């Protein structure tokens, strides 16, 4: 396998890790106003992700860094053409991080909770908009420069993609809260899961069918998304919270697999296929990719082991008195 393909797959894996882990973080933030009846409950909801949310965001930083190093043309075109949406995501993530750090240090938490809510909802929606455009293709000229406008990115297919990721991450967060809490909080999260599930299944599947991939890997991933979502609901109905979370994580993994599987060998398709960025014309030199591969092979297992240890340490359920 060529190193360009290896790094395309590794970047897909990094985005998968980010969406699986940060996805339930976004869902927790979105659900805070609906499940947190009192301050004790809201504090418990925030505490479910308190030890891990900043570690989950590292996946995004590494994915961005890997894209910059392995496919600099892709990085340059993406961050210039998608500048405003990505800037809005960055602002939302900053507001969200500040809210999580300062809500416990303030006498009034309402303002911080609003920042946490909007800082979670914004990226959950905008990431779907961004990846839908990447999958669909954008207007690029012969120099791989983006020639569209912000309104070009806000097309119906992209908005459907944003709604799909918003609902999927919210559902993922509800299932996570069902797994991590007890008592009334757990029951409320379970009810929210049952309410969100039908809309999430319909919208996510509508988005994937509208994308219309034509490869076996695409349809296998789509089938796995459907299986994961229905499995999550079935496990929730049976009170099997661990299995429900596993199934929803599989749905997120399969969605990212479908997106990247439908994209390859392009990294950023153009409306005129002759101007598309591919794993070949967007890649760094073979020497750079070789050095990066050795670094990734050495340090990735260490990072994964540390994060797994963190989740194991903070695995216990939380109550409203926490």
> What pLDDT sits at residue 121?
95
Residues 45-70: tens digit of each pLDDT: 988 887 777 788 888 888 888 898 88
> What pLDDT sits at residue 322?
43
Q: Are 215 and 262 in contact (CB under 8 A)?
A: yes
Q: Are 160 and 132 in contact (CB under 8 A)?
A: yes
Tell if the pTM clears 0.75, that is, is over it: yes
CA distance 67 to 10: 10
Integer CA distances (angstroms), 166 to 121, 204, 225, 294, in order = 7, 10, 15, 36
**Burial tier of 280 (Cβ tally within 10 Å: 0-12, 13-18, 19+):** exposed
> What pLDDT sits at residue 320?
57
Q: Specify the DSSP class assigned to residue 320.
A: T
> What pLDDT sits at residue 29?
93
CA distance 243 to 171: 14
- DSSP run (H or E) holding 247: helix 241-263
Residues 284-315: tens digit of each pLDDT: 888 888 888 888 888 888 878 877 877 777 77
Phi, psi of 266 (to 5 degrees): -75, 155
CA distance 163 to 21: 19
Phi, psi of 268 (to 5 degrees): -150, 95
- Provide the β-strand partners of residue 266: 278
Phi, psi of 149 (to 5 degrees): -125, 180
CATH of domain 3-313: 1.20.1630.10
Which residue numbers in the chain have pLDDT < 50? Answer: 321-322
> What pLDDT sits at residue 124?
95
> What pLDDT sits at residue 1?
59
CA distance 59 to 17: 6
> What pLDDT sits at residue 264?
86
Q: What is the chain's alpha carbon radius of gyration, rounded to the nearest angstrom?
A: 20
């Amino acid at each position: 396998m060529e190193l360009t393909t290896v790094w395309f797959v590794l970047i897909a894996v990094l985005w998968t890790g980010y969406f699986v882990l940060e996805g339930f973080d976004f869902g927790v933030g979105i659900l805070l106003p609906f499940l947190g009846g009192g301050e004790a409950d809201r504090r418990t909801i925030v505490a479910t992700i308190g030890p891990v949310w900043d570690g989950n965001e590292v996946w995004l930083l590494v994915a961005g860094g890997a894209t910059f190093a392995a496919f600099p043309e892709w990085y340059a075109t993406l961050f210039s053409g998608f500048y405003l949406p990505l800037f809005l995501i960055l602002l939302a993530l900053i507001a969200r991080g500040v809210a999580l750090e300062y809500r416990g240090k303030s006498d009034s938490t309402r303002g911080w909770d609003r920042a946490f809510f909007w800082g979670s909802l914004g990226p959950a929606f905008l990431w779907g908009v961004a990846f839908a455009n990447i999958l669909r293709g954008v207007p690029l000229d012969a120099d791989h420069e983006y020639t569209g406008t912000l309104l070009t990115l806000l097309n119906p297919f992209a908005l459907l993609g944003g709604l799909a990721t918003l609902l999927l991450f919210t559902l993922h967060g509800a299932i996570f809260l069902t797994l991590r809490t007890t008592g009334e909080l757990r029951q409320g999260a379970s009810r929210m899961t049952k309410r969100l599930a039908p809309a999430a299944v319909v919208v996510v599947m509508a988005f994937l069918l509208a994308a219309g991939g034509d490869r076996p890997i695409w349809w296998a991933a789509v089938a796995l998304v459907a299986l994961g979502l229905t499995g999550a609901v079935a496990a929730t109905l049976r009170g099997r919270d661990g299995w429900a979370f596993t199934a929803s994580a599989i749905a997120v993994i399969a969605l990212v697999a479908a997106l990247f599987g439908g994209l390859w060998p392009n990294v950023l398709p153009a409306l005129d296929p002759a101007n598309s960025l591919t794993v070949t014309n967007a890649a760094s030199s073979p020497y750079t990719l070789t050095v990066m591969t050795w670094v990734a092979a050495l340090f990735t297992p260490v990072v994964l082991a540390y994060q797994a240890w963190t989740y194991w340490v903070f695995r216990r359920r939380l109550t409203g008195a926490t």
